[in-house]
C-alpha cells in the first residue's frame, strides 16, 4: 500500500464513514442515498489495486453493518469481494473513462444487493430486499457519484 500512511488510511476511513452517515441521515431523498462506501471501495480498487480496496472495504463494511444492524460481516464480505474483483479486472479493463466507471459501479451495486440479500437469507432465513426504488435507482445515484469520487480520489489522494 505504497504512499498510504496509517494516518492517511485512518483519516480516509473516518472521513468516508462520517460523510456516508451525514449523507444518509441528512441528504437522502425518499429514503434514497448513494452507497458512498461501496463506490469508494470500487474507486480504491480501480486506483490502488485489490489489497488497499479490500482493507478499506472490510473496515467500511464492518462500520455499515454496525450502523444498519445487518448481519455482522455480510457487508464487509461483499465489499472485500468487490474490492478484489475490481482490483483484478482493472488490468483487463480501462477504468479511466466515465462510462467504464458507471458500468462497474452499476453492476457492483446490483451484485452488492443480491449478494448481501442472499447472505442474510442464508444466515437469518430472511432475504434482505432493499425495495424496488432502492434497487432500481441506487445504481443511477451511484453512477452519478462515481466520477465525482474518482476525481476527488485523484485530486486528494493521488496528487
Partner 1 sequence: MQPHREERAANIALATLCAASVVLMFLPLSRPIRAVRACVAHVFEPMVFAGAQGTERLALVPKRARELMEADIENRALREEIARVGMVKAEMESVRAENARLAAALGLKVAEGKTVLWGRVMERDPAHWYHSVMVDVGRRDGVALNAAVLAQREGTVVVLGRIGEVLERTSKVLLVTDEFSSVAACLSSGTVEGLIQGQGTERLRMNYLHSEAVVSPGDQVLTSATSATFPPGILVGAVAKGYARDPFLTFQSAEVRPAIDPASVKEVIILR
Q: Report CA-CA distances (Å) from 57 to 88, 99, 124.
A: 15, 23, 23
In the set 34, 50, 108, 139, which binds partner 1 (CB under 8 A)?
50
Q: With respect to partner 1, which residue has the nearer C-beta, 119 or 145?
A: 119
Evaluate whether 89 touches 118 at the Cβ level (below 8 Å): no
Radius of gyration for the chain, computed over Cα atoms and rounded to the nearest angstrom: 15
Contacts of 22 (CB under 8 A, 6+ apart): none
Q: Which three cell numbers stand for residue 86?
A: 475490481
Buried b (16+ CB within 10 A) or exposed e, 82-119: bbbbbbeebeeeebeeeeebbebbbebbeebbebbbeb
Q: With respect to partner 1, which residue has the nearer C-beta, 89 or 140?
A: 89
108 is a contact residue toward partner 1 (CB under 8 A): no
In the set 13, 19, 21, 73, which binds partner 1 (CB under 8 A)?
73
In the set 9, 19, 62, 140, which binds partner 1 (CB under 8 A)?
62
Query: Could you give phi then psi for residue 85, rounded to 5 degrees?
Result: -65, -45
68 is a contact residue toward partner 1 (CB under 8 A): no
77 is a contact residue toward partner 1 (CB under 8 A): yes
Residues 86-105 that bind partner 1 (CB under 8 A): 87-88
Q: With respect to partner 1, which residue has the nearer C-beta, 16 or 83?
A: 83
CB 11 → partner 1: shortest distance, Å?
21
Q: With respect to partner 1, which residue has the nearer C-beta, 78 or 145?
A: 78
Q: Which residues bind partner 1 (CB under 8 A)?
A: 49-51, 54-55, 57-58, 61-62, 65-66, 69, 71-74, 76-77, 80-81, 84, 87-88, 119, 123
Amino acid at each position: 500500500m505504497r504512499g498510504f500512511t496509517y494516518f492517511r488510511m485512518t483519516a480516509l476511513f473516518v472521513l468516508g464513514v462520517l460523510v456516508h452517515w451525514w449523507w444518509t441521515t441528512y441528504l437522502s431523498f425518499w429514503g434514497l442515498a448513494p452507497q458512498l462506501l461501496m463506490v469508494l471501495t470500487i474507486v480504491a480498487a480501480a486506483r490502488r489495486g485489490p489489497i488497499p480496496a479490500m482493507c478499506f472495504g472490510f473496515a467500511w463494511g464492518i462500520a455499515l453493518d454496525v450502523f444498519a444492524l445487518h448481519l455482522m460481516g455480510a457487508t464487509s464480505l461483499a465489499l472485500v469481494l468487490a474490492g478484489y474483483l475490481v482490483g483484478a479486472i482493472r488490468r483487463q479493463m480501462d477504468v479511466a473513462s466515465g462510462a467504464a466507471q458507471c458500468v462497474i459501479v452499476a453492476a457492483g451495486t446490483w451484485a452488492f444487493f443480491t449478494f448481501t440479500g442472499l447472505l442474510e437469507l442464508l444466515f437469518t432465513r430472511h432475504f434482505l430486499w432493499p425495495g424496488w426504488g432502492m434497487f432500481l435507482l441506487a445504481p443511477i445515484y451511484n453512477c452519478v457519484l462515481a466520477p465525482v469520487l474518482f476525481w476527488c480520489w485523484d485530486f486528494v489522494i493521488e496528487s
